[in-house]
Chain A
């Protein structure tokens, strides 16, 4: 796409691992030039953090997923000459992000107050685990730990389970959206005031925001704790029947919110016991069980055609094999191919934003450590 919204902006990414670099990827896909500031040799810590122990072209597959469409500048932040160059880069950059623990940037003189003196228009954005103060300030800001501390793990699964974490780094990712929004809002303000800004987000505040609907319910319902259903497959601790996933003859069926009496009738039960809407929550578990007994008797496809005719919100429960074969997925164009520096082909996702009728693709692979040092020296430091 021509004229991407952030074309011309320079972002220095001191961030490592997931939340900060995911925000960096968003900014890159929106058109910014994103340069990872990495230590020579090992580079960003995330290069060594693998899932399923999968490495390609010397870095973890996860690193390649999060860091495509970026450049890398290798530098030793403990070396005064290197720091002088970093300060020169900072003078010309628009945004910088980091997720060092409190105190690290102060020590090397790149904290916000110092950077503001070098470049008063800088948008300086930080990610912490739990904020800069308080009893958890020094705890590791890691996705599963934040899920566990925030109450999130009591929302999925059923009552007889212990805590059930979300099986994705959902806090890191949500925090990345907040970081992106904070940076963009600050850039917008800068366009009017010519002033830089400090943007701060934390994993803990992000996961609390993620629960904002339920937390608002909690603080206004006498502080009751979430009551997960005892029926396996139930989909939401705070929603009434029939919300959940049901076993069928050949798989599973998802039923979202709907008129329980109407659904009962559609699947061959009597309407009568389900007429009173106020019982859809109080009798949630019974209704789920009564529906489960019927729904396991036919195939998913049979149920869906019957339910859809009645306008009832339902759907299939796919695994990846089935989902990626679906025509609807293929037409989304959500995948793109990258060729890594060593020639390896990778299939990954594109940017989630569509702007001016176009999908945003960017097939530039993640950089090697220091791959762009020379061109960045040429573009910003030789003057």
Chain B
């Protein structure tokens, strides 16, 4: 059993963005460059998330997926605003291996079953965004944590499994983008309640956070964004790309505060985890 480490790339228009609590999106660069770097560094899979999830501008996401799938041969999950079997088909046809769905599945859970019948369980990832309630339980949210649903996150996880979901991507909205660590309790509760794999997301700020969400949170796989993105930025010159007319690029042109994280490469992260007793896939044997 090898831990899967899955960089998550939030995409708005043609750009990779990152926000805190899903708000205040900042342009970090071109997603394909990041994807390529992560692939070469030994990423086990990739997640692309359409950060605005509007149907308007979907073509730009499909283009990015198509370009990525041509040069990257690891599983690519794409999510954000997918509402129907036809939406899912489009993304798969563009080259995604799996899709993640949240809002549409919450509105009509049968969509999970239908999607599984069309594309197979291992193609369908249900994304659960959760916020802790005052009584310590968790509530599922949609629309990037903007809309409450009144649905208990743990019950929703079990329901999604019953409907055939192949995996669950579990995000703590409270931790997302903060760099303060994963929500261990949320991850553990869901991971122990279902038999399908749980991918933990939201809050990774350093390598120790990743270790603890596996050891204490019982995550089957881990996903993260900022700690990897800022490491890549340290290795590259984004000014080579053209960002005309797209989003808030102040960070790229002027630099500025980054979140409180200790960025590191996938390679170093895997070396740390392996040293701590968590088996990770090593780079493929040299050709």
**Does B associate with A?**
no
Interface residues of B (CB under 8 A from A): none
Interface residues of A (CB under 8 A from B): none
